[in-house]
A and B are shown apart, each in its own frame.
With several copies, the nearest count.
Chain A
Amino acid sequence: MTTKGYYGNWGGAFIPEVLHETFKQLNLAFEQAKGDPTFWQEYKELMSTYSCRPTPLTCADNLSDHFGGGRIYIKREDLNHTGAHKANNVMGQGLLVKRMGKKRVIAETGAGQHGVATATMAAKFGLACTIYMGEEDVMRQRPNVFWMEKMGATVVPVTSGSKTLKDAINEAFRDWVSSMDDTHYVMGTVCGPHPFPEMVAWFQSIIGLEARKQIINGFGKLPARVYACVGGGSNAMGIFQGFMDDKDVELVGVEAGGHGLESGEHAARLAGIDSSAGVAQGYKTMFLQNDDGQMRDTHSVAAGLDYVGVSPILTDLWEKGRVRFESATDKEVMAALDLTMKKEGIIPALESSHAFVQAFKEAGDLATDQALIINMSGRGDKDIFTIAHAFNDPSWKEFIRKKGEEYATD
């Protein structure tokens, strides 16, 4: 009996017995990689030649002036290859897969970014690849599905449960318990059974390591606050780790407020009061569940935040008061996205836009000699169908209508 893989009261590895050896091997490979300085070197090299690391830290002058408070800096994970921070984790796990000698990868995906990143990694590393994706997310993120398939991955729409991220995770586990001999499950966020939270957090820490250096270089001192959206929590953990020991830097996680915390239609686990401690999907954390322990339906305009659980590491940091949690509603998200596009020429993903909302609410409270960083976890290109729909764009609708008619007669 070990408390390895626990963060305070949270975490663990609640795995079916059939995966016991698989996790043993994975833990070993991960520990070896962590202990091997050439591994991190290889990882950094890969990320700087195949992706675009270090990603820039952009000073958003117009937004800063608009809100008239602290300087707003944006950490540009959108400029990663495949368009989101998910690439960091996936490429790191890809190197581990190579070391373990496995030939196939599987993954769950919500927004599709993790699926695209995994399909990309599989193509680059010559691995077979299957991606599980909730049917609702398949609809919301169709472009990403298309690209996954074109990169040679098989995308399996998951029709069980709420047809979103949690169900995709279940399905990925169902695959893994039969395929573990040659297959690695590339968990997409800092959730799931140990060692995944620690492993994903480790790969994502590259964001915070860079950001800390960059803000000191660019602004001359540490930021007052750092904002990140929280789905599973990987981009948040990624940037937060750079500032964890800087006690004066306030860390703010922003969850999906959906139609509002009071509506019940949201995915706020730590910012709201609808969650409670539970064990599911292989780990212990705060879940959105009913009194029986059945998971509840969640809602967010952002597929990547629409999840019942949250990283056990973040739950611990929340419990200890190190990270403050807030939520942003779908409506606030669209407004923040609109403003960011118009003021800075930058298109955050719907997920990332949640972090922007909270930063915008609070930027005015900071003094002009203070700074804040928003982690822009990804770009919004993938969200074109959702965004165009939400903005009710008539020419987009007309375009789709015509295309649809063209295909109707096929």
Chain B
Amino acid sequence: MQLTDYIRKRREKKNILLMTHLVLGYPSFEVNRQVIRQMVENGVDLIELQIPFSEPMADGPMILKANQESIEAGTTVKDCLEFAAEVTAAYDIPFLFMTYYNILFKYGVEDFFKKAVAIGIKGFIVPDLPPEEGAGFLQLAGKYEIAPILIYAPTSTDERMRELAGHARGFIYCVARRGVTGKQTDFDKDFNLYMSRCRQATNLPLAVGFGISNKEDVDFLTGQADIAVIGTRTIRLIDEHGAAAVGPFIAGLK
């Protein structure tokens, strides 16, 4: 798959890649634009674009608020798709869509894939769509060559991990801990064990997200994971210090 290849190639040069996340339309598309520019200029390797949904069940308070305010400000799925087309055209790194299944479902799942292909999106992260419910989705992902990013959790058994690996493409998103986005994670012995279980279950690259917020976290992950995912941290940073703070922050992670 092209996404996996990209990650592997990039990893030849870097010990760990960075994936960042933002909620489209929050606080505005203009700020999104500035933030993405700074991310790319400071060496981010992949960017997750979250299309806001009114019921972001798996997200914590920070991203929940971003979802809601974006929708309240009038962000539509169409706006998100247009913006995504703009940034994929402007920057040469992979962009992924993260959203909840209802957004695809209401759009029409196949139409959504077609559109994503047209825009140049490389993968989808849909946290409320387990493979049991995603047969059609996975099939279309294959057909349209968009990586369906599946999720491992610390609660996943080895067997479950292997099963998920059979459906996943691109990379595996390893949730660092129980819970929702936006809380601190303890990177301890249990975590190391979890990561080695992940490794054993799949050959795909591993991204680790949930609670990664500083250079120490990233350093800790280096060697265990292929991608460190920075989510809530940048949203908070922008809320507090504006878009301009993102560049230096990203630069400081390496």
Contacts from A to B (Cβ < 8 Å) = 1-2, 12-22, 160-161, 166, 170, 173-174, 177-181, 276-282, 287, 289, 291-295
Given contacts A14-B129, A14-B133, A282-B57, contact A22 B155 (CB under 8 A): yes
Given contacts A289-B102, A292-B76, contact A174 B57 (CB under 8 A): yes
A80 to B181, CA, bound (A): 40
**A15-B130, A21-B157, A161-B54 given; A293·B151 CB < 8 A:** no
Q: Bound state CA distance, A336 and B58, in angstroms?
A: 41
Q: Known interface pairs A1-B135, A12-B133, A292-B76. Does A281 touch B107 (Cβ–Cβ under 8 Å)?
A: no
B178 near A17: Cβ-Cβ < 8 Å: no
Interface on chain A toward B: helix, strand, loop, or mixed SS?
mixed
B127 is an interface residue with CB less than 8 A from chain A: yes
Bound complex: CA A177 to CA B151 (Å):
14
- CA–CA, A18 and B128, complex, Å: 10
Select B127's contact among A16, A280, A294, beta carbons within 8 Å: A16
Is B131's CB within 8 Å of the partner chain A? yes
17 pairs from A and B in contact (CB 8 Å cutoff): A1-B132, A14-B128, A16-B130, A18-B154, A20-B153, A21-B156, A170-B57, A173-B57, A174-B180, A278-B106, A280-B57, A280-B102, A292-B107, A293-B102, A294-B53, A294-B54, A295-B55
B interface residues (Cβ-Cβ under 8 A, vs A): 53-61, 64-65, 68, 71, 76-77, 100-103, 105-107, 127-133, 135, 150-157, 160, 164, 175, 177-180
Least Cβ distance of B48 to chain A in Å? 16
B39 to chain A, nearest CB (A): 26
Q: Are B178 and A279 in contact (CB under 8 A)?
A: no
Report Cα–Cα, A14/B53, bound state, in Å.
15
Question: Are B101 and A14 touching (Cβ within 8 A)?
Answer: yes
**Cα–Cα, bound, A180→B154 (Å):** 12
Given that A279-B128, A281-B57, A294-B54 are contacting pairs, would A18 and B155 also be in contact in the complex, using a CB cutoff of 8 Å?
A: yes
Minimum CB–CB distance from B171 to chain A (whole Å) comes to: 15
A173 to B177, CA, bound (A): 15
Cα–Cα, bound, A14→B137 (Å): 13
Taking CB as reference atom, which chain A residue is nearest B79? A292
Supply 18 further A-B pairs (C-beta < 8 A) apart from A13-B132, A160-B64, A280-B102.
A16-B151, A18-B156, A20-B155, A21-B160, A22-B155, A161-B54, A161-B55, A174-B179, A174-B180, A177-B179, A178-B179, A278-B102, A278-B105, A280-B100, A281-B57, A289-B102, A293-B53, A293-B105
For A282, list chain B residues within 8 Å (CB): 57, 128
Q: Are A180 and B64 in contact (CB under 8 A)?
A: no
> Could you tell me if B130 and A14 are in contact, using CB atoms closer than 8 angstroms?
yes
Q: Given the complex of chains A and B, what is the CA–CA distance between A280 and B55 in angstroms?
A: 7
Bound Cα distance A16, B131 (Å): 11
Q: Contacts of A170 on B, CB cut-off 8 Å?
A: 55-57
Instruction: Provide the residues of chain A in CB contact with B135, threshold 8 Å.
Output: 1
Q: Which of A2, A16, A18, A173 has the most CB of B within 10 A?
A: A18
**Which residues of B lie under 8 Å from residue A291 when comparing CB positions?**
106
Residues of A within 8 A of B127 (CB): 16-17
Q: Given A17, A180, A293, which contacts B103 in the complex, CB threshold below 8 Å?
A: A293
